[in-house]
């Protein structure tokens, strides 16, 4: 992950005007993966089970969860994003152009299609495709929620039938967070640049 983030920092120097570059590092506790409006349909009997909200970790149906971590385990988030200086642009889907160079959440990449970012000293949110979103209160004791199903309504198979749901969200508690403004970092010059005035003289 350090190699990915390092490459990201190098790529940042090509940033365009009108956007700042921030790196986020969060320590988290995994709270589990929750399904919204879950419907289980059993093939053999036609029986249905409906749940408005369902915590899937350890479920008997084999429904997938976000992380291999167990509830209560410490995990992390690291990300580097372009953020528009005028964040009202986000409402018009500021095109981040794939420039979320790195985003790793609990060991999983989460940066593939980031299209909009909104941030402040206390919160971060981004949108990656129409139905994948990330919202976090960055203060210690805050929550990070990552909705990662790619369709408005999604479905899958389990051993005894199939299931349908609206949202599948990984939930985390924030234990600490740091934000680094990479756009303020000085660009180092090669050592030979200091001799340029002498040469010109």
Q: What is the pLDDT of residue 4?
A: 38
Residue 159 neighbours by CB under 8 Å, 6+ apart = 61, 62
Mean pLDDT of 114-139: 75
- Higher local confidence (pLDDT), 126 or 179: 179
- Our count of domains for the chain comes to 1
Q: How confident is the model at residue 8 (pLDDT cuts 50, 70, 90)?
A: very low
Position 156 scores a pLDDT of 92
Residue 82 confidence (pLDDT):
76
* pLDDT at res. 12: 34
Percent of the residues in the chain that have a pLDDT greater than 90, as a whole number: 40
Which of these ranges, 82-96, 122-136, 186-200, has the smallest mean pLDDT?
A: 186-200
Mean pLDDT of 68-77: 96
Per residue in 161-188, is it b (16+ CB within 10 Å) or e — as a string?
bebbbbbbbbbbebeebeeeebeeeeee
pLDDT confidence bin for 173, thresholds 50/70/90 = very high
Answer whether 2's CB lies under 8 Å from 18's CB.
no
C-alpha torsion 77→22→88→105, nearest 10: -10
The predicted-structure confidence for 45-55, as pLDDT tens digits, reads as follows 989 999 999 99
Domain extent for 131: 2-200
Residue 9 has pLDDT above 60, yes or no: no
């Amino acid at each position: 992950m350090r190699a990915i983030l390092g490459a990201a920092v190098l790529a940042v120097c090509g940033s365009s005007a009108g956007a700042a570059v921030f790196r986020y590092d969060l320590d988290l506790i995994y709270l589990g993966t929750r399904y919204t409006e879950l419907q289980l349909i059993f093939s053999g009997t036609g029986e249905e089970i409906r749940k408005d909200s369902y915590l899937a970790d350890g479920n008997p149906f084999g429904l997938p969860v976000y992380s291999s971590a167990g509830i209560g385990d410490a995990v992390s988030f690291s990300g580097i994003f372009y953020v528009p200086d005028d964040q009202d642009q986000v409402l018009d889907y500021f095109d981040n152009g794939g420039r979320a160079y790195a985003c790793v959440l609990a060991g999983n990449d989460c940066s593939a299609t980031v299209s909009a970012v909104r941030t402040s000293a206390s919160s971060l949110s981004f949108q990656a495709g129409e139905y994948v979103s990330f919202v976090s209160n960055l203060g210690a004791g805050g929550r990070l929620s990552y909705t990662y199903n790619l369709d408005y309504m999604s479905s899958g198979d389990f051993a005894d039938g199939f299931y349908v749901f609206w949202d599948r969200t990984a939930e985390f508690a924030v234990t600490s967070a740091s934000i680094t403004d990479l756009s303020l970092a000085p660009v180092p010059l090669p050592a030979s640049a200091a001799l340029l005035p002498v040469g010109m003289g």
